[in-house]
């Protein structure tokens, strides 16, 4: 059975690309200035209230793109905004007295349900992928290909987002909002490579990171995980693993048990569901150990002494080769860990 490319609601999505531009933003950071660029599509569509409401949820838009070979592919965009438009709204400036506006506003209001001279503007950001159809199969390719003005736009189906994002036989970590598709990933690859979780305060970054740790340990219990917890969030998120899985909390300062419990962040939603006191009691049973650190300055004389020791050890072993770049690095590190 061939996958369904377009969403069921696409039959009511009469839309075409009005404009496309690569827009740049500049941000000044501590390391210098960064320039971000992204392709933005502006799509005009006949207004349909059901389609309008659906596009407020995350959606994937495919814009038809013909290639020189005659093949038609779909340039994929993620929706970031949808705006209602009416041709009479442009004349309703703040300077127009209300008594002259009411009739216009009443007509505009009624047109959203009954239909009329209205439309909607859909704004999408380029995902960096195109979709090709080959032998009934979906093939996704990385591409910065620009769509062409006037091209038809479609609301893509959940089958497309599933094939694009999900991993077969992967670990489920949630459900994708707007698509109602279980998100499955290769959990081990998350930790084999650098992975970042970004979001504003309160969006659930720590919660997601804790969930990924849980999923990883459930599938690969032999793996060891170290969490650098600056804000005191993860002891609560991973509380059962700390208590039942032999985990420990290490700190560089002396923390009496009561102070440790007070320093941990308990989410309001969790406190409402479980109760704050049971959580505090469980936190008081977490093993907390103090790590004593000793800072040692590595001077040139320290390095020279270690390298000299390397040469002496080689000569004692009958190796007369001169030291090579990299020789003594481990000894330097080992010497630093021993305090010189």
The conformation of residue 117, written as its DSSP 8-state character, comes to S
DSSP 241-260: HHHHS---EEESS---HHHH
Same domain, 326 and 248: no
113 and 143 in a single domain? The answer is yes
Structural domain contains residue 250: yes
How far is 16 from 174, CA to CA, in rounded Å? 33
Q: For the chain, how big is the Rg over CA atoms in Å?
A: 30
Tell me the per-residue pLDDT of 302-330, one tens digit each, with 9 for 90 and over. 788 878 887 777 777 666 655 554 454 44
DSSP state of 64: E
CA-wise closest residue to 185 among 160, 211, 204: 211
Q: CB within 8 A of 149, min separation 6: which ones?
A: 17, 18, 19, 20
Same structural domain, 39 and 159: yes
What does the pLDDT read at residue 222? 86
Does 118 map to a domain? yes
- Quick one: 316 exposed, middle or buried, by C-beta within 10 A (0-12, 13-18, 19+)? exposed
Domains identified in the chain, total number: 3
Report the 3 state secondary structure along 72-95: EEEEEEEEEEEEEEECCHHHCCCC
Note the pLDDT tens digit of each residue in 261-303: 999 998 888 888 989 899 999 999 888 888 777 666 778 887 8
pLDDT for residue 335 is more than 80: no
In a domain, 207, yes or no: no
Task: Answer yes or no: do 58 and 123 share one domain.
Answer: yes
On whether the CB atoms of residues 252 and 290 are closer than 8 A, the answer is: yes
Distances (CA, A) of 141 to 127, 134, 144, 145, 189: 11, 12, 10, 11, 20
Whether 138 and 38 have beta carbons less than 8 Å apart is answered as no
Token duo for residue 242:
């700390």
Alpha carbons 277 and 331: distance in angstroms, whole number: 50
DSSP label of 12: G
Q: Which residues pair with 139 in a beta bridge?
A: 132
d(C-alpha 75, C-alpha 127), whole Å: 8
Q: Is the pLDDT of residue 332 over 50?
A: no
**With 80 as the cut, is the pLDDT of residue 7 above it?**
yes
Exposure of 12 by Cβ count < 10 A (0-12 exposed, 13-18 middle, 19+ buried)? middle
Average pLDDT, the chain: 86
Domain identity same for 16 and 159: yes
pLDDT tens digit sequence for 208-261: 999 999 998 888 888 888 999 988 999 999 998 898 877 889 888 888 888 989
Asked if residue 1 is part of any domain, the answer here is no
Residue 333 has pLDDT above 50, yes or no: no
Q: Is 123 helix (H, G, I), strand (E, B) or coil?
A: strand
* Domain annotation covers residue 143: yes
Q: 35 versus 69: which is more confidently predicted?
A: 69
Across 87-91, 117-121, 335-339, which has the greatest mean pLDDT?
117-121
In terms of domains, do 266 and 316 share one?
A: no
* Residue 110 and residue 240 in one domain: no
Do residues 17 and 81 share a domain?
Answer: yes
Q: Of 165, 189, 224, which closes a domain?
A: 165
Same domain assignment for residues 32 and 101 = yes
Q: What is the pTM of this model?
A: 0.73
**Whether residue 120 is found in the same domain as residue 233:** no
Residue in this structure with the two tokens 């506003």, named with its chain if needed: 105
Query: DSSP label at 324?
Result: -
The reply to whether 184 falls in a domain is no
Domain boundary among 143, 165, 187: 165
Contact 173, 182 (CB under 8 A): no
143-186 pLDDT, tens digit per residue, is 999 999 999 999 999 999 999 999 999 999 999 988 889 999 99
> Which residue segment(s) compose the domain that 305 sits in?
300-337
> Quick one: pLDDT at residue 88?
82
What is the Cα–Cα distance from 207 to 252, expressed in whole angstroms? 24
Confidence of residue 75 (pLDDT cuts 50, 70, 90): very high
Is 250 found in the same domain as 136? no
- What is the pLDDT averaged over residues 96-116? 83
Instruction: Find which of 64-78, 104-118, 160-174, 180-194 is predicted with most confidence, using mean pLDDT.
Output: 64-78
28 and 124 share one domain: yes
CB 173 within 8 A of CB 185: yes
User: Is residue 201 one of the residues assigned to a domain?
Assistant: no
Q: Measured between alpha carbons, how far is 11 from 2 in angstroms, rounded to an integer? A: 18
User: Per-residue confidence at 63, pLDDT binned at 50, 70, 90?
Assistant: very high
Per the DSSP assignment, residues forming a β-bridge with 44 are 16, 121
Confidence of residue 340 (pLDDT cuts 50, 70, 90): very low
Domain final residue, candidates 252, 269, 290? 290
In a domain, 31, yes or no: yes
């Amino acid at each position: 059975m061939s996958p369904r490319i377009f969403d069921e609601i696409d039959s009511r999505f009469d839309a075409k690309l009005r404009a496309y531009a690569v827009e740049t933003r500049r941000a000044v950071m501590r390391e210098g200035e960064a320039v971000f660029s992204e392709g933005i599509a502006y799509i005009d569509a006949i207004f349909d209230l059901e389609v309008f409401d659906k596009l407020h949820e995350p959606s994937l838009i495919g814009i038809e793109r013909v290639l020189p070979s005659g093949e038609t592919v779909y340039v994929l965009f993620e929706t970031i905004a949808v705006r209602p438009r009416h041709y009479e709204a442009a004349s309703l400036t703040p300077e127009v007295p209300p008594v002259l506006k009411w009739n216009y506003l009443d007509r505009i209001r009624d047109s959203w349900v009954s239909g009329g001279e209205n439309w909607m503007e859909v704004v999408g950001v380029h995902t960096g992928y195109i979709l090709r159809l080959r032998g009934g199969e979906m093939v996704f390719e990385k591409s910065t290909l620009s769509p062409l003005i006037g091209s038809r736009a479609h609301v893509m189906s959940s089958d497309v987002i599933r094939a694009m994002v999900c991993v077969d036989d992967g670990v489920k970590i949630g459900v994708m909002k707007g698509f109602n598709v279980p998100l499955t990933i290769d959990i081990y690859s998350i930790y084999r490579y650098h992975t970042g979780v970004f979001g504003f305060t309160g969006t659930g970054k720590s919660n997601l990171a804790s969930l990924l740790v849980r999923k990883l340990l459930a599938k690969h219990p032999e793996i060891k995980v170290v969490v650098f917890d600056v804000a005191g969030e993860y002891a609560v998120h991973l509380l059962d693993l700390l208590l039942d899985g032999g985990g420990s909390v290490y700190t560089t300062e002396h923390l009496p048990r009561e102070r440790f419990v007070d320093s941990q962040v308990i989410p309001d939603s969790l406190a409402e569901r479980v109760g704050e006191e049971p959580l505090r009691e469980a936190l008081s049973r977490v093993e907390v150990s103090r790590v004593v650190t000793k800072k040692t300055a590595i001077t040139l004389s320290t390095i020279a002494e270690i390298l000299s020791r390397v040469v002496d050890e080689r000569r004692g072993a009958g190796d007369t080769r001169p030291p090579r770049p990299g020789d003594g690095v481990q000894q330097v590190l080992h010497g630093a860990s021993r305090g010189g």
